[in-house]
Amino acid sequence: MSETRVFLLPDLGEGLTEAELVSWHVSVGDSISVDQPIAEVETAKSTVEVPSPYAGIVAELHGRPGETLDVGKPLISVVEPVSSVEPVETKPVETSEPETEPVETELGDPLVEPLETKPVETKEAETYREEEKAGSGNVLIGYGTPGGHGVARRTRARKESVAVVEPEVSTSSTTEDDLTLLRTRVPGKLGAVISPLVRRMAREHGVDLGELPGSGEGGLIMRKDVEAAILPQTLQARPGNPAVVAPTPSNNVEAPEGGVDARTGLIISSRTPVKGVRKAVAANMARSRSEIPEATVWVDVDATALVELRQELKAGGSAPGLLAFIARFVTAGLRKYPELNTRIETASDGSQEIVSFDGINLGIAAQTDRGLVVPSVRSAEKLTARELDAEIRRLTDVARQGKGTPTQLGSGTFTLNNYGVFGVDGSAAIINHPEVAILGVGRIIDKPWVVNGELAVRKVTELTLTFDHRICDGGVAAGFLRLVADAIENPTSLLADI
């Protein structure tokens, strides 16, 4: 006799609802121990290793590398033998796997798309939940801590059960148009009409699926089949081409691998899913633009004195980077203008309040292979320029390795963005929600500058401050920007402690 335990993907912190499976560290049949890393997953915040709360033999891996898994869904099934002399019986637990119907990918291969089903409660599943409550002692966020809070937190509402008929059509989600479209199929071939995406595309472009042969296995209608049928309509609709006759599936001419875009008529070269860090950045930036009435002010600054100061320090040994000096000036500015180091919170009744902080967590925008991330230097106002330089370098290195924790990547109160490294002078940056301001620094280049009434060549940069106009007016923003600019032009006034 043996018991099968199913480990659900835990909440990995900050309410994240999904994670991409990067790689498995174990295979089916492997013997694993408690807290042994079993998989590496990538969230919108970082890449982490997930340890197992159970010991035993791996019975099933619920996912393939590259797949996006929902929090609370099965990750791995582990068989725990009751006795070492008894054979291992890999009887899988009913893990409420949903009914599925194939969905076509960009390459024309069918995948599996779940229909909306209600998980079936089983004795084994209930036993698993009770065992999971006991905890493994592992300290990964979301599960395994002593005292029971081990069950993965539900982050999505349970969906209503549906009746499944032949063919597999969800009567609760299929529209009347979809049902009408399905009825046009020849009896016995209803299964050739696949995903709602294909049905919707056909309906929107007037393609009769009942007359459309499928290029997939067993006559399965793929996305490219519908796109190929749409192509003749697109060509004929162009001005000056009323008599164009384009190839159709009935001519046995295959459509391009990537399909044809219905709006532009161009061949689609590729499709890239928006996920991971890119998905999180997109959502955050869209929310920032939709919620924050932002305004931007900027100023050109003579950074010659700062550049010369750093060269002098470097000649005597080591010196902080220019960004660390500017970070030091920013913390001084935020202490004088604390309005820019706050956050707006909206209550359920619609009322708003400004939240102020006793301290500054300075976010440093860093470009990585995974996208733009913002690790933050905690209590930055307490650090010298040299200490800021060391911490900025450490955090950006961690972020570029994809090892930043949710706390490191999501705790900032103000962001400093050095886009000058990309060779540009200025940018109207988008505020990193829920912060209320972001300061951008352009490249430092030689420019003509008037010094004491005479024209000279100086090291000039541009500072750009984007701020939330709900928090303050232009006077506060300009005062902060001018303080930072003056410190760059006369750095010794604020760098007595370096």
Tell which wins on pLDDT, 220 or 355.
355
Position 156 scores a pLDDT of 45
Distance CA 393, CA 318 (A): 14
The architecture (CATH level 2) of 2-99+117-133 comes to Beta Barrel (2.40)
Determine the average pLDDT of the residues in 338-362. Answer: 95
Position 191 scores a pLDDT of 44
Pairing assessment for the beta strands 437-441 and 371-373 based on DSSP bridges: unpaired
Distance CA 238, CA 324 (A): 58
Does the pLDDT at position 148 exceed 70? no
User: How many other C-beta atoms are found inside a 10 Å radius of the C-beta of residue 111?
Assistant: 11
Does residue 469 have an active-site annotation?
yes
Tell whether domain 277-493 is in CATH 3.30.559.10: yes
Question: In this predicted structure, which of 147-161, 310-324, 338-352, 355-369 has the lowest mean pLDDT?
Answer: 147-161
Q: What share of the chain has pLDDT > 70, as a percent? A: 68
Distance CA 158, CA 139 (A): 27
Q: What is the pLDDT of residues 204-236, one digit of tens each?
A: 778 877 777 777 766 778 778 888 887 655 545
Burial degree of 59 (CB within 10 A; 0-12, 13-18, 19+): buried
Position 357 scores a pLDDT of 96
Using alpha carbons, select from 498, 444, 455 the residue that is nearest to residue 301: 444
Does the pLDDT at position 141 exceed 50? no
Q: Are 487 and 332 in contact (CB under 8 A)?
A: yes
C-alpha radius of gyration, the chain, whole number: 29
Does the pLDDT at position 460 exceed 70? yes
In the chain, where the domains are located = 2-99+117-133, 176-251, 277-493
Average model confidence (pLDDT) for the chain?
A: 76
Which pLDDT band, with edges at 50, 70 and 90, does 13 fall under?
A: low
Length of the chain: 498
Kind and range of the H or E element at 304?
helix 304-315
Which pLDDT band, with edges at 50, 70 and 90, does 83 fall under?
A: low
Distance CA 384, CA 336 (A): 17
Position 170 scores a pLDDT of 44
pTM over cut 0.85 = no
Kind and range of the H or E element at 385?
helix 385-400
User: How many other C-beta atoms are found inside a 10 Å radius of the C-beta of residue 94?
Assistant: 13
Catalytic residue, chosen from 25, 149, 433, 469, is 469
Q: Are 335 and 326 in contact (CB under 8 A)?
A: no
Structure tokens at 190: 């209803």
Give 338's contacts (C-beta < 8 A, 6+ positions apart): 356
Tell which wins on pLDDT, 75 or 202.
75
Determine the average pLDDT of the residues in 126-134. Answer: 47
Determine the average pLDDT of the residues in 59-85. Answer: 82
Determine the average pLDDT of the residues in 110-132. Answer: 46
Structure tokens at 227: 């796109």
Position 173 scores a pLDDT of 44
